[in-house]
Amino acid sequence: DGGITQSPKYLFRKEGQNVTLSCEQNLNHDAMYWYRQDPGQGLRLIYYSQIVNDFQKGDIAEGYSVSREKKESFPLTVTSAQKNPTAFYLCASSSPSGRARVSYNEQFFGPGTRLTVL
């Protein structure tokens, strides 16, 4: 079955440590996204990538970094510069090749990673 996987589901980090969240998709999607979710704030875009080897900052990129070396993978690193990293992180992908325009905007989500800083 096609889908998006995120690992780990729960992640604990000590202050001052960098940590990398994994996101993998086998949907043949070009675009991938990282969101941060906090209670009462909905989803906020951290980074997005529309194609391999290219990515753009979202609304809250400070303290985060990404890479997009493969179409299937879009890992997110939460650096020690992120002042309040405890949150639920969601990865998504969109724009399957050869589909109608509406599918170009529809996003498919992974199950999320809950990061807690101790």
Partner 1 sequence: AQSVTQPDIHITVSEGASLELRCNYSYGATPYLFWYVQSPGQGLQLLLKYFSGDTLVQGIKGFEAEFKRSQSSFNLRKPSVHWSDAAEYFCAVPSGGATNKLIFGTGTLLAVQP
Least separation, in Å, of the C-beta of 108 and partner 1? 8
Least separation, in Å, of the C-beta of 112 and partner 1? 5
CB-based contact 88:66 (threshold 8 Å)? no
- Give residues with Cβ within 8 angstroms of 110, minimum separation 6: 3, 4, 5, 6, 23, 25, 90, 91, 92
Cα–Cα dist 93/72, whole Å? 10
Task: Identify which of residues 1 and 15 has a Cβ nearer to partner 1 in the complex.
Answer: 1
Q: Is 104 in the site for partner 1 (CB under 8 A)?
A: yes
Site of interaction with partner 1 (CB under 8 A): 4, 6, 31, 33, 40-43, 45, 48, 50, 56, 58, 88, 90, 92, 94-95, 101-102, 104-112, 114
